[in-house]
């Protein structure tokens, strides 16, 4: 596929033209032009993916030599293999649909060319990240999507909460990025290269290598894996570095769908899977990934249970599903993690854009407590969100059923304590996922109309320019699992499809879990549907009784496990107090006093003393000259 480089650079072209020429070209032309370029990129990506499946196509397209300094040599390449081809499809397809959807959703925004430019630039950065053949190019794309997320989340920069959310996302991601940078530094220190092929081929020779840090010895491979995973935690919003993701919903809804459903937040999962040749030699790092994934999946699901903002519920759902992907990678099922990433992109983008359609119809209302009773008024949005909800909850034979159940099965088949723990928490999280997903749907579309600011008869469906992308995504939510299951996670997938793009030190188990385990999750998530309808629509007093009975737990979940409060106390207020101390005690009383202020005072004092010599009397000047001459003469005689 000789046009592979167009997949990466067409979005960049769209971004540059929209960003620099947007003021001189009509807005309609800009939105259509950028959408067409992204759509062409998506079509080429699909053709490449087809070529990879049918003909095992792979190629490393060298564009130019980027850095050459001593032994440090880095190229700028477009590396196409099974892993990058799959990511190409996910990124470009979702991005193209978001671009088209934005034509309708952002129709009243006066700065649409800037918005389309940011969307295209984000897509380009993400494509650079996944198409790299070295860690430095990956880091370039990694920082690019971080910058674009800041620009997109804070797109409405006159809105104070949007600015705060953008800054929060940027700072929290810098923490993770620092870990990634340390990992890359350590890779170059150990292997003398940052090229994937050079590093991955040498890993088995360094599995016993140790490095001394402040007198303590650490296994170098373990340290590299942990640092890389810290970077992945920040980008993929895993627990402790997750706080930016829900707040990022302050950006326009298309941003939520693009960045926080299908692309940027999956970069961490991609990084771990891409580095499988390193992680397979670090059991410590894999166990850490599993534990963090389990914790994130469970934590985010509990918080989503009690949220009322429609976008934040879906955001916490994203956080939870990313936890599933990570603990799949942690138990060694990298291909299953990518399979869930692939299916999740469709139904989560569908839910976000569906939520955008609801918000559009409710004139920017996002609280589900002020919705309800509109399923007949918004029939297309309702039906499409039902499909997305079914897929998310793992309802039988939809995409989420195949990928999520595969994660639980492989976790169970791991046969270790941590594998059983992951499987158990995975089932529990799946039940909670079903509860909060149907709560969102029933409170949004069913029951009585609870919005006092709007007239029920004025409610209407979104324009077709917003509905068509939802229809296309719904097809992916229904069919992507059953069509690609055998290709991506079948018994021969590691040799037929993934080949060298994912490394398995030991082949994955081909056994089958007990029958009861296979059926428990589908049965539970199906039973939850009528129960949720009964509690959230028919007998709402039961919900109030549950909340009152378990109010401390409800409050704990409502306050998001107090992570924001804890970070505010430890870091925000702590840093402010530390800053005030250094400003008043160190800066003013020490540095300023003995530095610029002290020097200026000394100069002033000297000038005041010097003024006293300027009396204007000749005899005083002659006397001073005589004293000076005497001193000089004495010095010459003595020396």
Q: What is the pLDDT of residue 2?
A: 62
Picking from 336, 511, 534, 536, the residue whose alpha carbon sits closest to that of residue 422 is 336
Q: What is the pLDDT of residue 262?
A: 59
Predicted confidence (pLDDT) at residue 1 exceeds the cutoff of 60: no
141-154: average pLDDT: 92
Residue 91 to residue 45: CA distance in whole angstroms: 9
Backbone φ and ψ of 381, nearest 5°: -60, -45
| DSSP-assigned letters across all residues of 172-231 | HHHHHHHHHHHHHHHHHHHHS--BHHHHHHHGGGGTT-EEEETTEEEEHHHHHHHHHHHH
Q: pLDDT band for position 213 (50/70/90)? A: confident
Residue 316 to residue 353: CA distance in whole angstroms: 16
**Alpha helices (runs of H) in 70-159, residue ranges in sequence order:** 82-105, 112-131, 135-153
194-202: average pLDDT: 93
Q: What is the pLDDT of residue 17?
A: 93
Helix, coil or strand: residue 79: strand
301-325: average pLDDT: 93
pLDDT tens per residue, range 412-462? 988 888 999 999 999 999 999 999 999 999 999 998 888 888 888 888 888
pTM as predicted: 0.90
Q: pLDDT band for position 624 (50/70/90)? A: confident
**Vertex 253: Cα angle to 252 and 259 (nearest 5):** 95
Q: What is the pLDDT of residue 263?
A: 74
pLDDT tens per residue, range 339-371? 999 999 999 999 999 999 999 889 888 999 999
**Vertex 86: Cα angle to 80 and 87 (nearest 5):** 85
Is 586 or 168 the better-scoring residue by pLDDT?
168
Predicted confidence (pLDDT) at residue 178 exceeds the cutoff of 70: yes
Tokens linked to 244: 């930016």
Q: What is the pLDDT of residue 100?
A: 93
Tokens 């010599």, residue located: 613
Label residue 118 exposed, middle or buried (CB < 10 Å: 0-12, 13-18, 19+).
buried
pLDDT tens per residue, range 475-524? 999 999 999 999 999 888 877 899 889 988 887 877 888 889 989 999 99
pLDDT tens per residue, range 372-383? 889 989 999 999
């Amino acid at each position: 596929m000789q046009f592979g480089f167009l997949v990466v650079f067409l979005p960049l072209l769209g971004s540059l033209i929209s960003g620099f020429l947007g003021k001189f070209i009509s807005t309609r032309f800009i939105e259509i032009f950028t959408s067409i370029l992204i759509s062409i990129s998506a079509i080429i990506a699909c053709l490449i993916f087809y070529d990879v499946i049918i003909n095992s196509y792979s190629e490393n397209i060298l564009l130019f030599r980027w850095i050459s300094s001593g032994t440090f040599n880095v190229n700028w390449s477009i590396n196409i293999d099974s892993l990058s081809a799959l990511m190409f499809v996910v990124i470009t397809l979702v991005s193209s649909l978001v671009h088209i959807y934005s034509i309708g959703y952002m129709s009243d925004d006066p700065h649409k060319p800037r918005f389309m430019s940011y969307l295209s630039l984000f897509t380009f950065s993400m494509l650079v990240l996944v198409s790299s053949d070295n860690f430095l190019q990956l880091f370039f794309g990694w920082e690019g999507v971080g910058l674009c997320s800041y620009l997109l989340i804070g797109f409405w920069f006159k809105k104070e909460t949007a600015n705060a959310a953008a800054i929060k996302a940027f700072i929290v991601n810098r923490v993770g990025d620092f870990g990634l940078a340390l990992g890359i530094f350590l890779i170059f220190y150990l292997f003398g290269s940052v090229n994937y092929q050079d590093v991955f081929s040498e890993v088995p020779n360094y599995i016993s290598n140790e490095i001394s840090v402040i007198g303590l010895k650490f296994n170098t491979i373990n340290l590299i894996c942990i640092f890389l995973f810290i970077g992945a935690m920040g980008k993929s919003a895993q627990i402790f570095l997750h706080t930016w993701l829900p707040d990022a919903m302050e950006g326009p809804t298309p941003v939520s769908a693009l960045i926080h459903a299908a692309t940027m937040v999956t970069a961490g999962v991609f990084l771990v899977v891409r580095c499988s040749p390193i992680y397979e030699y670090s059991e410590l790092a894999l166990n850490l990934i599993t534990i963090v994934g389990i914790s994130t999946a469970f934590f985010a699901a509990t918080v989503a249970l009690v949220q009322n903002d429609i976008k934040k519920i879906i955001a916490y759902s994203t956080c939870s599903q990313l936890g599933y992907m990570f603990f799949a990678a942690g138990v060694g099922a990298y291909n299953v993690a990518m399979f869930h990433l692939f299916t999740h992109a469709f139904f989560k983008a569908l839910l976000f854009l569906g939520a955008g359609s609801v918000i559009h119809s409710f004139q920017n209302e996002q609280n589900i407590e002020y919705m309800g009773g509109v399923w007949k008024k918004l029939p297309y949005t309702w039906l499409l969100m039902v499909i997305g909800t079914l897929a998310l909850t793992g309802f039988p034979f939809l995409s989420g059923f195949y990928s999520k159940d595969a994660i639980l099965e492989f976790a169970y088949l791991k046969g270790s304590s941590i594998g059983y723990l992951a499987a158990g928490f995975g089932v529990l999280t799946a039940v909670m996922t079903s509860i909060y997903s149907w709560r969102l749907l029933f409170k949004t579309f069913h029951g009585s109309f609870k919005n006092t600011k709007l007239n029920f008869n004025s409610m209407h469906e979104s324009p077709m320019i917003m509905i068509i992308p939802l229809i296309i995504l719904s097809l992916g939510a229904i069919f992507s699992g059953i069509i690609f299951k055998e290709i991506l996670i079948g018994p021969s997938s590691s040799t037929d499809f993934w080949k060298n793009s994912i490394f398995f030190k030991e082949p994955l188990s081909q056994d089958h879990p007990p029958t009861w385990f296979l059926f428990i999750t589908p049965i539970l998530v199906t039973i939850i549907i009528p129960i949720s309808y009964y509690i959230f629509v028919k007998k709402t007093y039961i919900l109030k009784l549950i909340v009152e009975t378990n109010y401390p737990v409800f409050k704990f979940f409502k306050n998001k496990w107090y992570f924001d409060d804890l970070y505010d106390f430890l870091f925000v207020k702590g840093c402010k107090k530390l800053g005030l101390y250094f400003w008043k005690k160190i800066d003013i009383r020490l540095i300023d006093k003995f530095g610029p202020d002290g020097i200026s005072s000394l100069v002033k004092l000297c000038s005041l003393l010097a003024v006293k010599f300027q009396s204007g009397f000749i005899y005083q000047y002659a006397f001073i000259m005589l004293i000076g001459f005497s001193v000089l003469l004495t010095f010459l005689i003595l020396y």
